[in-house]
Chain A
């Protein structure tokens, strides 16, 4: 059986990849996808810890995280569509009205 640490390292790698995507990419859709990568990395941690503790709670939390991710994707993509209608661009640097 693969030890818990391996899953945690894998999850950390995925989370770092997602963070890098949010920081490096300049495309709203890719940024939302990177957020999904990070959510999935956390889900993997939850399931691995739940398995290590022999409890069902980890899997239930994953269920809730997925619900929140679905809501976030729906609202986020609606905002992206609205922004795109406004300025025909997906580059987040196109919107600086609230930038200090």
Chain B
């Protein structure tokens, strides 16, 4: 290529897993759901990074949150800008070091990134499931993930890790399959949603179902998407994922124009930002999946079956736990993580708890806070030693700066 100027951008990033390839696994054995319904068959789409060792002891499952996917790390050959949602954490030399661990990302059932969900075609009717897709729970996801582990020949996970709703799945793994998981990393999560959290979710759902284009969940048949409702839901969610201080710092009261217009147009930068995020999200995300994910959040409550006794519910776990929260997170605040820690210490579980001083709010779990990443790295180093996954080939790689992660509108979409 004559005249081409080489830059660092042309060099492959040694700390990226590189090109990711999505794979599919079909399951014909019916999945009996907590709701009492049955999913006759389903497909899971997943990605893996690193290599499963001979003892099959180094597998780490990454569980995604509300809007995440199986695309955890790396990028696609035909879409190099589509970088995985936890790429800053997962890769060679990174905190979750793919030189030593075999990392699996899976799109949950009911999702909209390739696994069977409301937008998939129901074989029984040859039409999209739409409103007929059953409500699935965290327990159901974990059961389906366990079947994928069976398929991959993984008897026991070295660890499951997730933030927010993903953290709930990691926690549930230790309860559903205590023998099949050595460690759970539960980040920015809660043992169950607070009343306020359920309230936020209900407002989001109401925005979606009251959009005329929702058509009772069967909008696919009408060739419509309830973009207005989904946009509103995302705008609301997005506010709650960030701290007040961060919003103030990023946007303040800055106006798009110099003076007030004294009208109802978009005037403040924050309005513009939220609408942009909402529009972007509504184009790519499925409204039924949003409903389903928020319901899974609402229903998660392991203590319920133990008459509200969380310690009793968690007593069956055999894993070691890493629990972390962020001081500025008001959607899943530190007090909620401390409830998990209190229950775990009451039943003499191995647990480490860190309360991280990050300014970003709930989204901090996705960002590259050096202290947070060092903690995860240190914990995973211990896990590696325990499961015989070896030691780091090189010192922990420094990540991209936080500012880069948080940069304006075009930056990597927030997923929480």
A pairs with B? no
Binding site for B on A (CB under 8 A): none
